């Protein structure tokens, strides 16, 4: 639903961006999407501030909507909110989520950041991770969200997901995967007042992504190739050797899941969970088949020599013993 009168220029740009991204993703999403008239639409896309009465009517029928905003918001009643300037990848995830919704698989629907597990009966294993990703894209560092478990606050998350604060026991539970973050009720609140030092949001993203599932995140696919755009801070994360090998491989050349398993010599579950963690951290980048592959040497004699040397160094220093 395009604006009919004079509106903020950013709204016009935002709607144009949405249209361009839908066009660019044509043929790459689960369903084939195109922009069209309201009469034949499955999903209504409109901008905030649009008071057209057909929007309320559409909403009342429970039909899917996408609302485009030009300012950061943390309200809880907008399921599919895109805040301009949004990334193409956000639209891609949103389109696949809408496809799931339209085909009736509501149970698998990942809510947006604004609806992080508000209702325990609709918990989804990826909702917290997707929420963190959305918060990072919104970049609202002024706001704080408070995560409550059984009405007691256990976690304070800055609005841009760059830092969080929790008691040491909660941090350890998050790192071990003993705390289900989707069970937390997140709501806007005040900044933490306790003496706990702020911790990196990357840590929260890594561990909640890693423990979310032993299957690939909904936004990832088996056949796609991925690389990393930057390394997570492993000084904080303290990775397992297998995780380190997966990430090092993806820093060198793009690969799909099968190739990652082969290259890094890890189990399918370890590779999958590490990919999920990288996705949660927002450092995983999908690449086209043309870009995949890369720089790995084919000189087997030299590679064998290198492997022997590195194995000896590892043995000498006692490295790589955790798996």
Q: Is residue 170 a contact residue for another protein (CB under 8 A)?
A: no
In angstroms, rounded to a whole number, what is the distance separating the alpha carbons of residues 86 and 321?
42
Q: Is residue 234 a contact residue for another protein (CB under 8 A)?
A: yes
Q: Is residue 236 a contact residue for another protein (CB under 8 A)?
A: yes
Q: Which stretch binds another protein (CB under 8 A): 18-26, 83-91, 97-105, 250-258?
A: 250-258
Q: What six digits make up the tokens of 23?
A: 């066009």
Minimum distance, C-beta of residue 113 to another protein, in the bound complex (Å)? 19
Q: What six digits make up the tokens of 273?
A: 């969970």
Q: Is residue 200 a contact residue for another protein (CB under 8 A)?
A: yes
In angstroms, rounded to a whole number, what is the distance separating the alpha carbons of residues 258 and 225?
10
Measured CA distances, 223 to 23, 93, 281 (Å): 22, 17, 21
Shorter beta-carbon distance to another protein: residue 4 or 299? 299
CB atoms within 10 A of CB 180: 17
Q: Is residue 299 a contact residue for another protein (CB under 8 A)?
A: yes
Of 49, 85, 194, 198, which lies in the binding site for another protein, with binding defined by CB under 8 A? 198
Q: Is residue 308 a contact residue for another protein (CB under 8 A)?
A: yes
Helix axes 268-281, 257-264, angle to 10 degrees: 110
Q: Which stretch binds another protein (CB under 8 A): 94-102, 180-188, 236-244, 270-278?
A: 236-244
Strands 152-158 and 284-287: unpaired
Of 16, 178, 303, 323, which lies in the binding site for another protein, with binding defined by CB under 8 A? 303
Minimum distance, C-beta of residue 52 to another protein, in the bound complex (Å)? 40
Locus of tokens 């195109």: 34
Shorter beta-carbon distance to another protein: residue 95 or 255? 255
Q: What six digits make up the tokens of 91?
A: 């639209």
Q: Is residue 142 a contact residue for another protein (CB under 8 A)?
A: no
Can you say whether residue 188 is alpha, beta or left, with left for phi > 0 and alpha for psi between -120 and 50 degrees?
Answer: beta
In angstroms, rounded to a whole number, what is the distance separating the alpha carbons of residues 48 and 62?
18
Q: Is residue 244 a contact residue for another protein (CB under 8 A)?
A: yes
In angstroms, rounded to a whole number, what is the distance separating the alpha carbons of residues 281 and 278?
5
Shorter beta-carbon distance to another protein: residue 63 or 199? 199
Q: Is residue 35 a contact residue for another protein (CB under 8 A)?
A: no
Q: Which stretch binds another protein (CB under 8 A): 24-32, 77-85, 105-113, 249-257?
A: 249-257
Minimum distance, C-beta of residue 306 to another protein, in the bound complex (Å)? 4
In angstroms, rounded to a whole number, what is the distance separating the alpha carbons of residues 227 and 250?
5
Quick one: 264 exposed, middle or buried, by C-beta within 10 A (0-12, 13-18, 19+)?
buried
Of 230, 267, 288, 323, which lies in the binding site for another protein, with binding defined by CB under 8 A? 230
Shorter beta-carbon distance to another protein: residue 15 or 250? 250
Q: Is residue 172 a contact residue for another protein (CB under 8 A)?
A: no
Q: Is residue 235 a contact residue for another protein (CB under 8 A)?
A: yes
Q: Is residue 193 a contact residue for another protein (CB under 8 A)?
A: no
Q: Verify cis geometry, omega within 30 degrees of 0, for the bond prior to 85.
A: yes
CA-angle at 82, arms to 79 and 88, nearest 5°: 125
In angstroms, rounded to a whole number, what is the distance separating the alpha carbons of residues 282 and 84?
18
Q: Is residue 249 a contact residue for another protein (CB under 8 A)?
A: yes
In angstroms, rounded to a whole number, what is the distance separating the alpha carbons of residues 155 and 148?
7
Q: Which stretch binds another protein (CB under 8 A): 31-39, 180-188, 212-220, 310-318?
A: 310-318
Shorter beta-carbon distance to another protein: residue 99 or 203? 203
Residues lying near another protein in the complex (CB under 8 A):
162-163, 197-200, 202, 227-231, 233-236, 238, 241, 244-245, 247-249, 251-253, 263, 295-297, 299, 302-310, 312-320
């Amino acid at each position: 639903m395009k604006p009919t009168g004079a509106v903020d220029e950013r709204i016009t740009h935002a709607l144009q961006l949405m249209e361009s991204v839908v066009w660019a993703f044509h043929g790459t999403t689960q369903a084939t999407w195109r922009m069209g008239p309201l009469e034949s639409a499955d999903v209504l896309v409109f901008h905030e501030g649009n008071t057209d009465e057909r929007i309320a009517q559409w909403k009342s029928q429970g039909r899917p909507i996408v609302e485009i905003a030009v300012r950061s918001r943390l309200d809880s009643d907008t399921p599919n909110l895109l805040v301009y300037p949004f990334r193409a990848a956000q639209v891609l995830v949103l389109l696949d989520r809408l496809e799931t919704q339209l085909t009736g698989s509501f149970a698998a629907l990942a809510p947006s950041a604004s609806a992080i597990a508000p209702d325990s009966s609709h918990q989804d294993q990826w909702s917290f991770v997707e929420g963190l990703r959305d918060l990072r894209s919104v970049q609202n560092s002024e706001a704080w969200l408070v995560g409550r478990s059984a009405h007691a606050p256990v976690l304070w998350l800055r609005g841009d997901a760059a830092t969080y604060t929790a008691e040491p026991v909660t941090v350890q539970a998050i790192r071990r995967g003993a705390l289900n973050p989707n069970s937390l009720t997140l709501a806007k609140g005040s900044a933490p007042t306790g003496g706990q030092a702020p911790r990196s949001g990357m840590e929260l993203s890594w561990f909640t992504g890693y423990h979310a599932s032993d299957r690939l995140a909904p936004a990832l696919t088996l056949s796609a190739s991925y690389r990393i755009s930057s390394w997570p801070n492993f000084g904080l994360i303290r990775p397992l050797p297998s995780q380190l090998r997966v990430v090092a491989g993806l820093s060198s050349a793009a690969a799909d899941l099968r190739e990652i398993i082969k290259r890094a010599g890890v189990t399918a579950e370890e590779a999958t969970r590490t990919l999920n963690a990288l996705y949660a951290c927002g450092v995983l980048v999908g690449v086209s088949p043309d870009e995949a592959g890369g720089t790995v040497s084919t000189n087997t004699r030299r590679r064998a020599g290198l492997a022997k040397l590195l194995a000896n160094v590892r043995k000498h220093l006692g490295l790589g013993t955790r798996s």
